[in-house]
Structure 1
């Protein structure tokens, strides 16, 4: 009888591992047919004696509508002179750019093809730290490579190689490599909750994905207009929880807000009087509980239009007038 308990413990461990394996296999079977390989050609400027030249590169993407719209990273297709997509079943198609948004490192391209598998965007706002996630992509050209891990952190900020700051990204330890860019990060239900974007080198297990809440908003705008005009106030921020006594005492409609980490010089935020440490909780009667909320509000309708920010500064609740300007350089 003494050996029965260790045996039952081992049996339970085996059952847990089998359940984990079944979850990953189920997700891969569901999502992999929608994952594509994106090949691009780009012009580069050689020294004068050699003249312009062309280089090849690529990444990943996934079909998210049955008529061939594909989400990928902006840095994968930006300035491409030619784009070709290889589907899961081996078919090849030329692709055209529908829209490109470097500010979120997202782009939409399209292929004209039939009988396409597609994947559904899930709800990244429901993610919890520690939750199982699966990444599918084409690192180094190895088609439909699968890695798994957990959500390591939420609400991160990531500065890209070009200097752009992307806020509210998902950090995961699911292994990513060059070529994974643009591929899906998927939850255990087979819903895409992020677009894989970057890996910190030489660190191991520190990888980032753009959340599906941002991807859904950006993709819809790119499909409708081909570009995104945004208003801009000039802050870098992060999501923070508010103390319950402040929420109750100030009659706030939100339990968290956007902490101002830094401001651009001569920006609308600086002119309005914002300072690092302020927490934005509202804009023009709209509650602001996250950076995602602020991004959604800073649309072209607010360009050069006076708006009112509700801000917490230490224990004071302030109201500030601000005039957003158009975000340039996209």
Structure 2
């Protein structure tokens, strides 16, 4: 497998699909000693602060009343859109970031980009930009610096919604990513390297539905040759009407030590519109499909020593979850969901993203050497804030504590 490192993400290629793993290599780090007191308070997912009975509208008309169709030139797109773009700087104080010689947590800083969803201060960015942040600071094009809180986010879609206490902000116009074609011109505005703020770059759409993999999480993204660098993550990818059609997320920079240029990726805006609104309204994605299992890929050692089929092995089944209600059991190996073959946890994650809570699917599982067909009604993923509370008490989501590895494999909680 070929592996290549770049600012925020590590990519590797396998077959036709790109595999991407998150890395801290692209973070702009600044480490210094901290006292035992005074450490920042880490954010946690929580409900939005929209007034009861109201929702924050995120669908806006074309900027400045521009008629549907292309703005006259790239400079006009920049002038129309730049005031809706923000640079984002975060501070992370956590033991996972490292400790100094006194055993105190090390503080790290990173930078990214985002764009304003509505005039009341909701901002969209990548989840990995603000993940584990203890403080988030947003800077507008006018130079105003605002403290932001994380309303909620979702790692599976790599999006997060921030909120700043401000009004009268210029919101971005959201376009229709389904209308993009290979060869269409697109532009990105962001914060490359964390210091070249509000820079614009341009290019074309290279692919409209590129399958890639980020740390085991599958995505279908817009591929573009637009210049993308560390710090651009979370910023808008714009069409020639100045509308946001994607959220800049990653760049593929090298392969086997050879430099690669012009391979960047953005999350299609249509894929996350409803999810973003759900986060604004509820603080998390309420209808996200949920199975309620602790599971892991059957590796070669497990297959040889345990005689297991290739697929996803269930280490634990939450008694109150969708899997238990359908009759799935510990020791089952999931090999297929409807017409999709399941060989790895990545396959299971990809299949799960095509369902919502309440949908039904036919699972093929191997139990005791016998193949069974089991109909599962997907549950709804629980509030992450409640799960975080359980974790703080030493329990994994679903009420399970830590598990030892089977045949040397550490189980992975798959949802």
TM-score normalized by the length of structure 1: 0.69
| SS class of match (2:174) | coil
48-57 vs 34-43, which deviates more?
48-57
Matched, 1:195 2:242: no
Q: Indicate which of 78, 84, 98 corresponds to 1:28.
A: 78
Structure with more relative contact order (C-alpha pairs < 8 Å, separation 6 or more): 2
Between Structure 1 and Structure 2, the one with more helix by share is: 1
Matched, 1:63 2:128: no
Question: Deviation at 1:164?
Answer: 3.8
Question: Deviation at 1:271?
Answer: 6.2
Equivalent pair of 2:217/2:350 in contact (CA under 8 Å): no
CA shift in 2, pair 1:294/1:127, >3 Å: farther
- What are the superposed Cα offsets for residues 219-254 of structure 1, whole Å, 9 maximum, x if unpaired? 1111011012421479xxxxxxxxxxxxxxxxxxxx
| SS class of match (2:278) | helix
1:95 maps to what in 2?
148
1:223 maps to what in 2?
280
Equivalent pair of 1:122/1:191 in contact (CA under 8 Å): yes
| SS class of match (2:77) | helix
Equivalent pair of 2:312/2:335 in contact (CA under 8 Å): no
1:37 maps to what in 2?
87
Q: Within 2, Cα distance between the matches of 1:31 and 1:263?
A: 47
Matched, 1:51 2:113: no
Matched, 1:324 2:400: no
Q: Indicate which of 171, 174, 188 corresponds to 1:135.
A: 188
1:211 maps to what in 2?
268
Question: Deviation at 1:323?
Answer: 3.8
Question: Deviation at 1:170?
Answer: 0.8
2:298 maps to what in 1?
none
- What are the superposed Cα offsets for residues 66-103 of structure 1, whole Å, 9 maximum, x if unpaired? 11100001011111111111001111110011111111
Equivalent pair of 1:173/1:205 in contact (CA under 8 Å): yes
Trace 1:160-179 onto structure 2 (pairs within 5 A): 160=214, 163-179=215-231
Q: Within 1, Cα distance between the matches of 2:83 and 2:232?
A: 16
Q: Within 1, Cα distance between the matches of 2:130 and 2:252?
A: 21
TM-score normalized by the length of structure 2: 0.56
- What are the superposed Cα offsets for residues 21-48 of structure 1, whole Å, 9 maximum, x if unpaired? 9421121111111000101100123256
Question: Deviation at 1:213?
Answer: 0.9
Aligned length: 261
CA shift in 2, pair 1:309/1:71, >3 Å: same
Question: Deviation at 1:121?
Answer: 1.3
Question: Deviation at 1:263?
Answer: 5.9
Trace 1:235-274 onto structure 2 (pairs within 5 A): 264-266=312-314, 274=336
Equivalent pair of 1:134/1:148 in contact (CA under 8 Å): yes
Q: Within 2, Cα distance between the matches of 1:51 and 1:30?
A: 46
Q: Within 2, Cα distance between the matches of 1:213 and 1:294?
A: 18
Question: Deviation at 1:148?
Answer: 0.6
Q: Within 1, Cα distance between the matches of 2:161 and 2:84?
A: 14
- What are the superposed Cα offsets for residues 187-213 of structure 1, whole Å, 9 maximum, x if unpaired? 111110000001112221111111101
**Which consecutive unaligned segments of at least 5 residues does structure 2 have?**
1-69, 255-259, 294-309, 316-322, 342-348, 364-372, 382-396, 398-412
Deviating beyond 6 angstroms after TM superposition, the runs of 4 or more aligned structure 1 residues are 267-272, 291-294
Q: Within 2, Cα distance between the matches of 1:46 and 1:109?
A: 28
Matched, 1:298 2:362: no
Q: CA RMSD in A?
A: 3.4
Q: Within 2, Cα distance between the matches of 1:174 and 1:215?
A: 21
